[in-house]
Amino acid sequence: MKIEFIIPTYNRPAHLSAILWSLRAQTSPDWTAHVVADCPPDGVIEPVMAMFADESRIRFTVLPERHNDFGHTPRNTGLEQCNEALVCMTGEDNYYMPVFVEEILRIAKHDQINMVFTDFVHNWGKEYIYVPSLLAYSHIDVGNVVFRTANACQMKLDTEKFSADWYMIEAYCQRFPGKPYHIQKVLYVHN
């Protein structure tokens, strides 16, 4: 069982490099990453692709036209192409503690668990704030949630809504049997 991280990107190669390095630093090798670039300017994504050319777990897709919809179209594109049993739809400006994959897989192996989420630290401007995650609006982020791919593929992020990630989480919990599991540890940083 592996987690596939879907990472939308546009024009922040330093952030993208940081999240990919955080994945490479995982204590578990059981992850893949799919970077979906939202038609970035020429020369932006290519240096990052070259930096990670030797990493077979990372693949890149460049969309032919810009959507500029909070990363939702790139996430939906990645979700349609997801190859792993579990999926995490994150952002290019986030990163993960080295035990994130290991901790998630320890819980997700139980069939009755349909979703796993962790606590996180959120950067609100210049200040980092601890967020004990709750299944409630503005208390969870799609980047700290790992879904069962088979279920998540039946859903889509609404490309018109800024908070589409929350609405997807809410609908997922209502639609699919099983229970969500909350790992009460900070394993994710949202910038």
- The DSSP bridge partners found for residue 58 are 33
Question: Per residue in 120-150, pLDDT tens?
Answer: 999 877 899 898 898 988 888 889 999 999 9
What local confidence, expressed as pLDDT, does residue 158 receive? 83
Range of the domain at 120: 3-190
Question: Per residue in 46-102, pLDDT tens?
Answer: 999 999 999 999 999 999 999 999 889 999 999 999 999 999 999 999 999 999 999
CB 172 within 8 A of CB 151: yes
Q: How far is the CA of 167 from the CAs of 23, 73, 164, in angstroms?
A: 26, 15, 5
d(Cα 146, Cα 116) in Å, to the nearest integer?
Answer: 5
Q: What percent of the chain has pLDDT over 90?
A: 79
CB 8 within 8 A of CB 79: no
Grouping H, G, I as helix, E, B as strand and the rest as coil, residue 109 is coil
Domains in the chain, number: 1
DSSP tag of 159 = T
- For residue 92, what is the domain's CATH number? 3.90.550.10
Residue 80 CA to its chain's centroid (Å): 14
- Copy the structure tokens of residue 95: 């990163």
Looking at the predicted structure, is the pLDDT value of residue 161 above 90? no
